[in-house]
Amino acid sequence: MPALVLDGKQLATRIEAELAARVAAIKARSGRTPILATLLVGADPASATYVKMKGTACRRVGMDSLKIELPNSTSTDELLEAIDQLNRNPDVHGILLQHPVPHQIDERACFDAIALEKDVDGVTCLGFGRMSMGEAAYGSATPAGIMTLLQAYDVPLAGKHAVVVGRSPILGKPMALMLLGADCTVTICHSRTRNLPDHIRQADIVIGAVGKPEFIKAEWIRDGAVVVDAGYHPGGIGDIELGPLKDRVSAYTPVPGGVGPMTIATLITQTVEAGEKLIG
């Protein structure tokens, strides 16, 4: 039987239609529009493309975006000042600092300067801590989008063994905690894990979040597993060797069109939620 395709693009389109109605309700009730502010430091083409995509998504649901571009020479203090201005701006409801920033900037300090109520990308230590304790916070956009995708397709999670390959603070680590919160048994691996194939072979659910093209081989994944590929690399490939798996696994995310659209849909969803709370 062919595997179930976890179509993030299709789901994101449905989510955006729902968000457009919520944005229209905010406008009708208050006369104000939710605004996502994006901070882009430097001229990295990929980062500029991602920021543009997020601005386009805002417009699709009727939101506004405020794009702030700073030169590559920006210091940590200058970026912190820009973030502080956005924190204090009552017309800004969500703040996105595009990763990565130039080497001279203390990225963690700048992430953590974002006000919790505007941390719609889920990048602050405070937000991560609250999420891990089951308290109210906006989740990191990519893992939160993956959870939405799995739930939308009724993928069973409780009691399943999930193996997360990757340990980044905005993807692998929060992904593991979200799965744990959904009653999975979770193993966190990474590129230096010994006997990595053996760990992956035990998984009911495999999350590829290691950031290396086709690092996870198809032969490591058992028949019937659920495969979520959070990577994207030139040539339209992810972190997992997906080709040989499509007739063996029970469900998988395509690359592209799986996790990527859900990341943006989650960012926009959380900005709308922030707008609803901050506008009232």
DSSP 136: S
**Per-residue 3-state assignment (H helix, E strand, C coil) for 88-126:** HCCCCCEEEECCCCCCCCCHHHHHHHCCHHHCCCCCCHH
| Tokens linked to 255 | 């690359």
Give me the residue label for tokens 């290691």: 210
- Residue 20: count other Cβ atoms within 10 Å of its Cβ: 15
Active-site positions read 54, 98, 121
| Tokens linked to 197 | 């194939």
Q: Is 29 left (phi over 0), alpha (psi -120 to 50) or beta?
A: alpha
Which of these, 76, 231, 109, lies nearest to 168 by C-alpha position? 231
How far CA 10 is from CA of 222, 258, 260, in Å, comes to 27, 9, 12
Residue 246: beta bridge partners? none
